Amino acid sequence: MSSKSINRSALLLGVLLSFQVLVVDAQQLKIESKNQPLRSVLKQIEEKSGYSFLYDESQINVERRINIEVNGALPQVLNQLEQLTYLKLQVSGKNILISKASLGVLSGRVVDENGQGIPLVTVHLKELNQYYFTDNNGSFKFQFPAHRLKSANLQFSMIGRQGTSMTTVLNGTNNAIADIILPTLSVGLEEIAVTPRTNRRLESNSSLYINREVIEQSGALSISDLLSLIPGQKIAAPSLQQVQQANLRSATLGTNSFSNKDPFALNNSFGVALIMDGIALSNNANMQTLNAGIYGMGNSYVSGKISGLSGSDASTDNYTGDYTFGGTDLRQIATDNIESIEIAAGVPSVKYGDMTNGAIIINRIAGKTPLNFNVQLRDNATVYGVSKGIDTRKFGAFTVGGNFTRSFEDNRDKMKSYDRVGGNIMWSTFAGKEKAFTNTLSIDYGRNMDKVRRDSDDPTAAVMRFKSYNFAIGSRANYRIDRGFLSNIGLNVRYSETYQNTYKEQDVNGTYIIYSDATEIGVHQGQYASGIYQAVTNIEGKPIDLTARLDLTGTFRTGDLLHQVNFGSFFNYSKNIGKGQIVDPSRPRNNTIAANADIRKERYYDVSRIHGQQQLGFYAEDLFTAKIAERDLNVRIGTRLDKFEKYLTFSPRTNINYAITPALTVGVAYGWASKAPALAQLYPGPVFYEIPLFQHTAFNGGSVDEANSLYLMYVDKFTPDNSKLKPSLSEQLEFSATYEYKDFKWGVNLYHKRNYRDVVTVNSFEKIVLDKYNDNPDPNAEVPYIIDGTKQYRLSRFEFMNADDKRTQGIEFMLSTPKWMAIATSFNLRAGLTKSTYRPLQNMATFPNNTDNPNRAESAIYPTQRRTTTVSNAAITSSTHIPKAKLLINFTTEFNLMNKTNTDASDGIPIGYYTQDGAYHAIDNFDRDNVNYAHTLKPIEEINNQNQPAVYTNFHLNVSKEISKRLSLAFHVYNVFNYRPQYKRSDNSMIIPNGKPTYGAQLRLKL
């Protein structure tokens, strides 16, 4: 046989053998096993495939029981079996070799600028969600299943040092990376962060990341000042004199410190989750409010005047320091020991629940640091802070910090002040083989005193105090697992207890008062007392909150895809054990003379008798990166289940982004979220009514003769049942894009959000018919009254309800340029436009009746048409950074582009009204000359009062200079040019959109 014939025969045999292999590989194998030994599963595969398994029974446990159900080709069957057993299966001819999966090692070292190892640096392996604290030499080492992980993303962070991240390709079992340098934070570094950044590896496509560098340059007094860095947010002067609550992606009115707060803005801030060290800071048990059934949700705050100075910005404000029904007051959180903040206004991970409007994620880290002393002097505030990080080597690292802040509304009279004292201890330690167990224990204590002193020149002035003392202890534990499906187990637990007290004291100088402490329904006799007394409002709350979250992370492969599966559970218990509303009926805070009294009265309300609120949640999500046309497709998809009382809510969420080119990435996100009602909404307390029936007041020598006086009232009691309140819901769809080219970076987010079932109060009326009491015509009669017929009365109360939906659309844009070396300056642009459309359940206004006309309208009903509010703001920042001079200058030009609410002229025309007896009268055609309701017409000037007529600018300056390695100075100026344009509203009130200039100097000393 010739050599050519032999070659052809060998080629034909090879083709036939290859074809046979392909046939076997393509053969569909159906393998099923329920709680059967691995040995029987291997036997099934052998019988159906013709392959034989080879293994060492002393190394491989074939008696372990597994569940498997697969229908596919042999490679697919073997791949799934690998994921279930964590064994390595390798085909060799007609045999399949079984061995234990090998472990790979990823190691490295973190050093400082001088090449010295840095201990206790936090290293995070993103793909396995594992954490490692570097040892005394700065070294770290991760172990991972070598057949699963092909690349790794590592993040390095430590307080006081410039964090970094990197991605490395994993080859083989031993992978060592070059030394990672974490320099000390300094404006002398060649590259520093000056603005928030986006990152595809954050919790959502549109998340903004604010690191320690940006925090230090901002001169922020609280977290609220950092929120002005979000595209579309208006920049406010740093101050602690107003309640600060986070509002994300909303164009409704703000939740400022005025006693009349917009319910839509309250719901927005209440739905923003504030996550610190992995646990939400809850405001669910805050009950510092008067009875919302009497005054409504937005008007039930204890409030008063805060300045008597002519020309003061606060001279006419009705101030309150309480923040019930909304989010946590951000003034309470200092920025001293915060390492980073992530603002996820879009669709966050499903591991975060009990929120409807995004999350603010705050990270704190313990580590070895110098003694840091910080002083900030502003024209209205003084801040002192000190912190020190200690490495004990044997017992881990301790970070101890404290801060004190004192600020005034107006330095001329110092009537209104806000003081903040805080302390914090964090202890990070590790244990176990290869430091597999890590834990950070944190203890926090804070005192916040918001106080209004009495104006000595005003005899009617009040003293107000809004104070809170809070204590919290929390633990963040992680256990790293190197083998098997699970790669990390995390447990976060936090317990907090707060003492809250709202106090108002005001002198009352009258002739006499009439009061009652009756709580039973029926006719009661009132009691007379002196009209000269000190009226006191006192509300005491003690919210306690226990939260635990279990986080599990596992990894597996389907083909070439590595899946990171996060799943876990969440539990929260909230209760208020305070005394509640402490009321002394003999010292009422409002007028009680029957001629002009409000018949809705307050009684003592013990909130500690309210049962606690419990929430339980479960979540699961899958993260993986697929290759499409050699480009990365990053997918995060999951869902969570939350149980509150009898209600179950499901919240599916996903974030997907795809790198179309190395420079351009586009993304889409969609998700639902839910938020449980607060205790103050579920249990506002009973509403009492004191309806005057008869009054005969006798005087003797200028004083009330109680023995010969009589006052009869009917006491009615209404206890609202809010058990039907459902959790609020939100739905959001978001598109995003980022582009990077030659250090030019831009990003854009487009979103559409709907909020369902926000909790609001609605005013309703009930009519009651009582006996009509008149004076007895016989002056010698034993009873001074007679009953002559009946009279109808109107009882007004507010009830909590789930509102209609609110829709918000918007766009956010960010652009940053590289440094222009000729002038050492880079530029950053951020802008946003938000449009919110909402319709209140009720549009009502109340008018006093100072006439004798019983048919005069006392409450008018207006059309509940949808309102559309559009707000747009932008800012351009130039950052001049000269590393050799250790100098950074940020100059910001702010543009307030639009603030407009679309309304119709018909919105001010009532469609009906109520009279004092509770009768409702519809208005078909409004008559301006009708004496009964003409006064209820709202002119168009009042309806359009909010609209901004033009574009207004403002200018701000921040300068940071490092004097030495130990000493740095910074200067911060808001409205540096004192530019204060004015415009007149349609109601002739004058508006100044820019606040007056404020100046601040900051000194940081490292010892």
Question: 150: domain CATH number?
Answer: 2.60.40.1120
Domain boundary among 56, 73, 100: 100
**Residue 291 belongs to a domain:** yes
pLDDT digits (tens, 9 = 90+) for 731-772: 999 999 999 988 899 999 999 999 999 999 998 888 899 999
Question: How is residue 67 written in tokens?
Answer: 């569940």
Alpha carbons within 13 A on the beta-carbon side of 956: 23
For the chain, which residues score pLDDT lower than 50? 1-25, 255-257, 259, 310, 315-316, 592-597
Regarding whether 424 and 573 lie in a shared domain, the answer is yes
CATH number of the domain bearing residue 58? 3.55.50.30
Q: Are strands 825-838 and 867-882 parallel, antiparallel or unpaired?
A: antiparallel
Answer whether 157's CB lies under 8 Å from 140's CB. Answer: no
Domain boundary among 127, 152, 184: 184
Nearest Cα residue to 633 out of 646, 645, 624, 621: 624
Regarding whether 111 and 85 lie in a shared domain, the answer is no
Nearest Cα residue to 245 out of 301, 321, 327: 327
What's the pLDDT score for residue 317?
59
Q: What is the largest CA-CA distance in the chain?
A: 149
**Residue 236 belongs to a domain:** no
CATH number of the domain bearing residue 550? 2.40.170.20
What's the pLDDT score for residue 810?
95
Regarding whether 310 and 428 lie in a shared domain, the answer is yes
**Residue 889 belongs to a domain:** yes
**Residue 558 belongs to a domain:** yes
**157, 373, 425, 670 from 389: Cα distances, Å:** 14, 12, 10, 41
Question: How is residue 157 written in tokens?
Answer: 């962070």
Regarding whether 284 and 170 lie in a shared domain, the answer is no
Query: Exposed, middle or buried: residue 991 (CB in 10 Å: 0-12, 13-18, 19+)?
Result: middle
Regarding whether 80 and 134 lie in a shared domain, the answer is no
**13, 21, 590 from 7: Cα distances, Å:** 10, 21, 110
Regarding whether 481 and 425 lie in a shared domain, the answer is yes
Task: Give kind and range of the element (H or E) at residue 67.
Answer: strand 65-72
Note the pTM of the prediction, 2 decimals.
Answer: 0.86
Domains: count for the chain: 3
| Side chain identity at residue 795, one-letter code | L
**Residue 540 belongs to a domain:** yes
Q: How far apart are the C-alpha atoms of 970 and 942, rounded to whole Å?
A: 44
What's the pLDDT score for residue 3?
45
What's the pLDDT score for residue 643?
95
Regarding whether 65 and 158 lie in a shared domain, the answer is no
What's the pLDDT score for residue 26?
53
Domain boundary among 85, 100, 115: 100
Alpha carbons within 13 A on the beta-carbon side of 689: 20
Regarding whether 485 and 439 lie in a shared domain, the answer is yes
**Residue 722 belongs to a domain:** yes
**Residue 922 belongs to a domain:** yes
Answer whether 705's CB lies under 8 Å from 696's CB. Answer: no
Contacts of 682 (CB under 8 A, 6+ apart): 613, 722, 723, 725, 800
Q: Which residues pair with 530 in a beta bridge?
A: 512
Regarding whether 124 and 77 lie in a shared domain, the answer is no
pLDDT digits (tens, 9 = 90+) for 169-186: 887 678 888 899 988 888
Regarding whether 121 and 80 lie in a shared domain, the answer is no
Regarding whether 621 and 548 lie in a shared domain, the answer is yes
What's the pLDDT score for residue 539?
95
What's the pLDDT score for residue 773?
93
Answer whether 977's CB lies under 8 Å from 1002's CB. Answer: no
The angle that helices 74-85 and 3-26 make with each other, rounded to 10 degrees, is 50
Residues in the chain: 1007
Nearest Cα residue to 230 out of 376, 154, 344: 344
Give the domain range for residue 30. Answer: 16-100
**Residue 189 belongs to a domain:** no
Regarding whether 130 and 76 lie in a shared domain, the answer is no
